[in-house]
Chain A
Amino acid sequence: MNGRMYKYLAAVAVVTACVLLYVGKRVAWFEDMMFPTWLSILVCVLIAASMFWILLRTIKGKPAERRTVFLYVGIAVSLPLLMTISVHVPISTEGQLLFDGMKRIQPGSKVLVSFDYDPPSAPELQPMAEAFMRYCFERDIKVIIIGLWPQGPQQANLALAKLLAEPAISAKNLVYGVDYVNLGFQSGNEFVIQRMGSDFKSMFPADYRGTPYDSLPLVGNVRNFSGIDYSFNLSAGYPGTREWVLIGVDRFGLVMGAGNTAVQTTGMYPYVRSGQLKGILGGMSGAAEIEELTERLGKGAKFMVAQSFGHMVMIVFIVIGNVAYFLHERKKKKA
């Protein structure tokens, strides 16, 4: 009964804290709670110390319970978001390759951007989408959006809404249908790409709002991939970059760069080496790379500190587990 009481009390405390924070923010008690430098260092030290404690416990043969690890990860990954550390993002060769390809796109070119992902992958891919389209809009490159996932065009709209509100871009007075267009989603996975190879219009008779294809000036003259100068694919799985490479690039000669979730990036490297893909961005670090390359830092760069902490925590956990393994478990198994 006593334990239960504690749990209720804890729950009530958490809810109260949330309400207080929420209200506090709205009535402007505080702007934000970013840590001063000394606090950031203190937090780092505390995290390191508690990791050491876990190590000691594990060596003693009392490994932490699953939920303890969960709580720990939650704290270790969220606190760094409050730290103001500026970091330099390392640029990979394949990220540089992609950016070199982007630099070769001439103003006025038509670029096909395929949004093949859904909200779960948005933390990784949305910053890439924004960085890429911002780059296009700033250089008067025309953007044609499609989606092989039903959620894709909606993610595109979110990115567009954000970009068009930026002063530099809203000053350009971009016109829907002339400077950019969202053709929406179409079902059929790789067959959509296959059909687009002979005729865009038969796969996308209208844009996502129902405007007929022919009355959209931007795509009026685009019959198939030969009317596209460059294409960028944001992909979180199937259908995605692989299908675009296999059909769009190899069969119809599309020039393509890609941004992928980290999970599937590793499988795309053979295509980068063979030149089937002109560069690739992988996961959150890829997003940070493109932001650094286009010199507009956004969410990707913002998350890099917390991401670093996450990786460190993961590595330390593996090391702790293995120390315990070599000290105890292996002997136990042999016995």
Chain B
Amino acid sequence: MRREIPLLITGIVGIVLVVAYFIPHFPFNRMADWSADWFSIVAAFAIWLGALNLFRLSIENVVKRKPGWGYAVVIIVCFLISAGVGFIEGRDFRNPGSASDWIYNYVYTPLSSTMFAILAFFVASASYRAFRARNLDATLLLLAAFFVMLGRVPIGDMLVGFLPEHWRLSDLSTWVMNFPNTAGQRAILIGIALGIVSSSLRIILGIERSHLGGD
């Protein structure tokens, strides 16, 4: 029973959503709508689960005095502060001027943005130390990258200002983006989509069960 019911749920929900695409008639349209509503709610609980799990793990780290448990204390305190303030402030915690908004603007934003911003440094160092035109493929890739990087910013056209209009780097990069890039991306798109079709089909038909965990 522990396996059959989940398999059944997966299959039925999947089939309903596929069928609703071809049969607009009641009850399939309503069932698709309900699925979307439930999905939205379950997804919210899933996020809660993730947050609670993090909370539990951090507490475990502190209690068992695992290495770096001090950082776990920071996590717990920050979680409690931001969650607590948000709950107290109520539904409109996002309102400009609220304490949550302050945390968002001056704590969350700088931290999350900088996390991603430091990637620029890594790209630079990797491009200097590891990106090599080691074969024809890589050479082609790097050349295309140069044209696009130069063509998308004003400096590209300034460098080749002597060229006639419509033949500048910006036009070349627009061309690369709109034609070869579109062709390659389209092939990738079709390939990935077919992959999704086959894996979804396997899941709906119960051939693929790994998401239910092994036991």
- Interface residues, chain A, CB within 8 Å of chain B? 63-64, 66, 69-70, 72-74, 77, 87-90, 92-94, 118-123, 151, 153-154, 157-158, 161, 184, 186-189, 191-192, 194-195, 198-199, 202-203, 208-210, 266-267, 269-270, 272-273, 282-283, 285, 304-305, 307-315, 317-318, 320-322, 325, 329
Cβ-closest chain A residue relative to B109: A119
B40 contacts A273, C-beta separation under 8 Å = no
Query: What is the CB-to-nearest-CB distance from B141 to chain A, in angstroms, rounded to a whole number?
Result: 11
Query: What is the CB-to-nearest-CB distance from A267 to chain B, in angstroms, rounded to a whole number?
Result: 5
Instruction: Give Cα distance in the complex from A282 to B170, angstroms.
Output: 14
5 residue pairs from A and B, CB less than 8 Å apart: A66-B125, A90-B152, A267-B185, A305-B154, A315-B146
Cβ-closest chain A residue relative to B128: A317
Q: Is the interface of A mostly helix, strand, loop or mixed?
A: helix
Let me know if B8 is at the binding interface, CB within 8 A: no
Contact count A vs B, C-beta below 8 Å: 181
B153 contacts A321, C-beta separation under 8 Å = no
A269 in contact with B129 given A119-B108, A210-B92 (CB within 8 Å): no
A202 contacts B128, C-beta separation under 8 Å = no
A188 contacts B178, C-beta separation under 8 Å = no
B40 contacts A120, C-beta separation under 8 Å = no
Q: Which of B141-156 contact A (CB under 8 A)?
A: 142, 146, 149-156
- List chain A residues, Cβ under 8 A from B124: 69-70, 72-73, 313-314, 317
5 closest A-B pairs by CB:
A188-B40, A90-B170, A308-B155, A87-B154, A195-B36
Let me know if B181 is at the binding interface, CB within 8 A: yes
Instruction: Give Cα distance in the complex from A209 to B91, angstroms.
Output: 6
A73 contacts B120, C-beta separation under 8 Å = yes
A94 contacts B177, C-beta separation under 8 Å = yes
Let me know if B79 is at the binding interface, CB within 8 A: no
B170 contacts A92, C-beta separation under 8 Å = yes
A191 contacts B36, C-beta separation under 8 Å = yes
Of B53-61, B130-138, B204-212, the segment with at least 4 beta carbons within 8 Å of chain A is B130-138
A189 in contact with B154 given A314-B127, A321-B131 (CB within 8 Å): no
Instruction: Give Cα distance in the complex from A321 to B178, angstroms.
Output: 30
A267 contacts B33, C-beta separation under 8 Å = no
Cβ-closest chain B residue relative to A322: B133
Instruction: Give Cα distance in the complex from A118 to B104, angstroms.
Output: 11
B33 contacts A270, C-beta separation under 8 Å = no
- Interface residues, chain B, CB within 8 Å of chain A? 29, 32-33, 35-37, 39-41, 43-44, 47, 91-92, 94-96, 101, 104-105, 108-109, 112-113, 115-117, 120-121, 123-125, 127-134, 142, 146, 149-158, 168, 170, 173-174, 177-178, 181-182, 185-186, 188-189
Query: What is the CB-to-nearest-CB distance from A317 to chain B, in angstroms, rounded to a whole number?
Result: 4
Assuming A66-B125, A208-B94, A309-B155, what are 14 further A-B pairs, CB within 8 angstroms?
A64-B128, A73-B124, A88-B157, A90-B168, A94-B177, A120-B113, A209-B91, A266-B177, A267-B185, A272-B182, A304-B154, A318-B142, A318-B146, A321-B132
Cβ-closest chain B residue relative to A246: B193
Instruction: Give Cα distance in the complex from A151 to B111, angstroms.
Output: 14
A315 in contact with B113 given A153-B94, A154-B101 (CB within 8 Å): no
**Complex partner residue of A69 from B37, B40, B128, B158, CB under 8 angstroms:** B128
B174 contacts A93, C-beta separation under 8 Å = yes
Instruction: Give Cα distance in the complex from A195 to B131, angstroms.
Output: 45
B112 contacts A273, C-beta separation under 8 Å = no
Instruction: Give Cα distance in the complex from A266 to B168, angstroms.
Output: 21
A273 contacts B182, C-beta separation under 8 Å = yes
- List chain B residues, Cβ under 8 A from A187: 40-41, 43-44, 47
B40 contacts A285, C-beta separation under 8 Å = no
Query: What is the CB-to-nearest-CB distance from B13 to chain A, in angstroms, rounded to a whole number?
Result: 12
Query: What is the CB-to-nearest-CB distance from A246 to chain B, in angstroms, rounded to a whole number?
Result: 10
**Complex partner residue of B95 from A203, A209, A305, CB under 8 angstroms:** A209
A154 contacts B94, C-beta separation under 8 Å = yes
Instruction: Give Cα distance in the complex from A29 to B142, angstroms.
Output: 47
- List chain B residues, Cβ under 8 A from A318: 127-128, 131, 142, 146
Instruction: Give Cα distance in the complex from A158 to B102, angstroms.
Output: 12
- List chain B residues, Cβ under 8 A from A195: 33, 36-37, 40
Query: What is the CB-to-nearest-CB distance from B198 to chain A, in angstroms, rounded to a whole number?
Result: 17
Query: What is the CB-to-nearest-CB distance from B25 to chain A, in angstroms, rounded to a whole number?
Result: 14
A186 contacts B108, C-beta separation under 8 Å = no
A325 contacts B178, C-beta separation under 8 Å = no
